[in-house]
Chain A
């Protein structure tokens, strides 16, 4: 943009525009560099156009090289993300409804939820490990011997991984949904109650429709985060089959020359799935009556 007046506006409007652009740039330039540069470089590397050594050559080798384990990893990642998002969404919605009810119970749940959001995922993973492992607190509390306890940590069903994400993300969903509900729910809820709507009817026709857009947004963020998060699955999961981020980082750290493009290919696949998930969520949001 130049200092010269815009053809349609006055000099003042042009200066306003310039100021607006200048205010945006310090955030825009790093974001463009990291998002555009990072994803762009990952795509180029996965296509063999940005090799560490040797000459650039367009090929899909990186995608086909892992053709046996890539679908498995995708399925594992999608399964973990779907299961934990479903639990987080339902628990989060319940917690949000308790929070907006506004009594001491709501305040307690809100405070604990806010505290849970601040816990780093890695710490959450360590804590869930100490809780659910066969020598953890839960089998001790329930009095179940270690060999009778199911293998939740590192076991076949990724139970500890799903539990960690469900725990952390339910707090996130609860705070987001409660935040949007709190601003407008009181009037609708009271009106419905005055008109004779009972508890279940208010839940079905007032609370859930009002919280649906925020629930969809928060659940999508939780889903995408779970899909792209490394440390929890690495710490609490099993070594094979592995979810996409764990596979990508294993390839990234491996010493063979072909593995870097393969790691980039896994990264590109994960990004593509995330974008599809976000796109589907947007479509779902446009169908809800209360969006915009």
Chain B
């Protein structure tokens, strides 16, 4: 929720209120005041988490002692009160449990040497799982997965960004067909394409590792292209034109104007492409043909066996942590670019404003 959206929402609310003066306005003020008292009664810590804008602005209106109007910042008209609020907290808690529950046994099993059946907690803690995971080649597999993910991200991000730029700025031919083709891998079962391709790659004498990277790059392209199309739709190309007019070389414009403006989106696209390479199993099995024993392959062979649950848990946690760390990094990078909304940067607001003056220049 950005400040821009909030003000737009409240502005339309004010407009409606002005149109239907008396009754609606009075009712809205009443509700607004109710929301206000609700907000002030709330724990200040929760208020800060709920939305920076509300929490910081609410004390202002209180200090001036002015009557709260629906256009003011503060508790929203749509905020739930009473039973609705209880329901929302409950549903949030249930959803949090839904997302968290499957990861709990991983954490418990990871350091359980023995966990006999009816016991709710491991009966003997220890590092047997860790030792077993190391013995199964967790470290080299981790390294291979990391390299594979990084290589896929390093290739799929720039070519996806280039295609997205050409498609968004309308300089490419047949943009619809090309856009559909680049999105196609998301709609097709990867094992089908890979089974067919396997013969082609063998006949063309393409080494398995090259083939693996090639296929995974194509699987990652829908994500990078889509992420970058969203970014370029909000990108104002006239910043680059301005820099060119002022004498910057195309290279300088690329590095000092273009890339910094789309950097948060590039980070997101690279993260998604990394995930494709990092978590792939079936393409690595079929095309890699044993040339790349990545972490998912080690997990699969451990999980298919019986009795090494602790090793499976350790290996699984190893596979979960790097993407989580990257997610936090990408989130922090996005947050630095814009304090209220990590996903979109302040470029949005600027280009939206300029588009009001000159429609279609950046579309």
Contacts and interface: CB of A to CB of B under 8 A. Distances in A.
Contact of A40 (B5, B188, B196): B196
B172 A235 contact: no
B204 to A, nearest CB: 10
Nearest to A42: B196
Interface stretch (B239-247, B259-267, B276-284): B276-284
B163 interface: yes
A235 B9 CA distance: 48
A271 B189 contact: yes
A189 B78 CA distance: 7
B196 A140 contact: no
Interface in B85-144: 88-89, 91-93, 95-96, 98-106, 108-109, 117-120
A141 interface: yes
A19 B169 CA distance: 11
Contact of B102 (A21, A124, A224, A252): A124
A257 interface: no
A123 B215 CA distance: 22
Interface stretch (B59-67, B299-307, B354-362): B299-307
Q: Chain A contact residues (Cβ within 8 angstroms of B): what range?
A: 35 or more
Interface in A251-292: 252, 263-264, 267-268, 270-271, 274-275, 278
Interface stretch (A54-62, A64-72, A194-202, A208-216): A194-202
Given A34-B197, A122-B300, A127-B316, A228 B13 contact: no
Nearest to B87: A199
Interface in A176-211: 179, 182-184, 186-187, 189-191, 193-196, 199, 202
A42 B195 contact: yes
A264 to B, nearest CB: 6
Given A131-B104, A186-B9, A187-B8, A231 B282 contact: yes
Interface string A215-239: 0000011001101111100010000
A33 B1 contact: no
B191 A125 contact: no
Considering residues A27, A40, A164, A252, which has the most beta carbons from chain B within 10 angstroms of its beta carbon? A27
Interface in B246-280: 275, 278-279
Nearest to B211: A34
Contacts of B9: 186-187, 189-191
Contacts of A82: none
A81 to B, nearest CB: 11
A5 interface: no
Given A42-B195, A123-B319, A228-B189, A27 B102 contact: no
A120 B278 contact: yes
B267 to A, nearest CB: 14
A39 B218 CA distance: 14
B77 interface: yes
B16 A195 contact: yes
A99 to B, nearest CB: 9
30 contacts: A19-B166, A20-B170, A24-B163, A30-B159, A35-B188, A38-B195, A39-B188, A41-B199, A45-B195, A102-B1, A103-B46, A116-B99, A118-B275, A126-B313, A130-B313, A171-B99, A182-B1, A186-B6, A186-B78, A190-B9, A191-B12, A191-B13, A195-B24, A221-B187, A228-B190, A230-B191, A245-B191, A245-B282, A249-B286, A252-B195
